[in-house]
Amino acid sequence: MLPTNPVISFGSEPPDFELLRHQEPVLFLSILAAAAGNMTTDNTFEKLQTEALSIITHQSVVKGQKRSELLLSLLILTCWPLAPAR
């Protein structure tokens, strides 16, 4: 997927998701939400996306934080092609 949609790259090595979950939890949540985009049986995608967007909004607007984790998370949630059509 990276050559056609280079939103995020972890390099040549596979990412350590346990480490990512502890160091950048918002990014990890956004990745989970994007991965749940092709689940059609329940509303997991909507719940995860709503939670991630709520956290991103609170941290960027209310707290005024400017971190690459928030930008990458927002890019994943808005650009990921597997999200269900509305």
Residues 33-64 pLDDT 10s:
888 877 766 788 888 888 999 999 999 999 88
> Could you please report the per-residue DSSP string of 8-40?
----SSPP-HHHHHHH-HHHHHHHHHHHGGG--
The domain ranges of the chain are: 23-79
Confidence of residue 1 (pLDDT cuts 50, 70, 90): very low
Residue 5's pLDDT band (cuts 50, 70, 90): low
Which two three-digit tokens encode residue 28? 């990890």
Average pLDDT of the chain is 81
Q: Quick one: pLDDT at residue 4?
A: 58
